[in-house]
Amino acid sequence: MRIRIDNIECRNSQGRYEIVKWYPNRYYGREEAMIAEGYERGTNTDGSWYLEKDWFKVHQSCFVNEESCYTIATLKWDADEYCNELVSVGPRLLDLSKEEQGAFFEVYRYAEDRIKQENLEEDED
């Protein structure tokens, strides 16, 4: 399940539901420009690469996607209460703009209903 409104999304990641905020990735498409700025390519022991300058490293994965995200909150199904427990990551929910808060609660409302339906269907099986 994925529900996204504007830059707020609920998704299932690593076996749990989380609500994330997407933002523009400042490294996307900048690999060549950073090399021109003096960054040098290095290689990790796992074979992946990075760009480094003045002890600052940027992993190769940072150049791939136009957006990055961070978790605002997680949703955990409570079978006894038949609802989700919302757990905010620090004050991140409070740091959202008014528009983002509106999108957050709309995404949360849809996610609550869908997760509840998924779990009720599992209980019937």
Other beta carbons within 10 Å of 106: 14
- Going by pLDDT thresholds of 50, 70 and 90, the confidence category of residue 124 is low
Distance, in Å, from the CA atom of 81 to the CA atom of 32, rounded to the nearest integer, reads 53
Residue 82's pLDDT is 87
Over residues 46-62, the pLDDT tens digits come to 999 999 999 999 999 99
CB 40 within 8 A of CB 53: yes
Q: Is the pLDDT of residue 92 over 90?
A: yes
pTM tops 0.85: no
Six-digit token string for 116: 């509840």
Q: Residue 8: which pLDDT band, with cuts at 50, 70 and 90?
A: very high
Read out DSSP for 48-66? Answer: -EEEEETTEEEEGGGGT-S
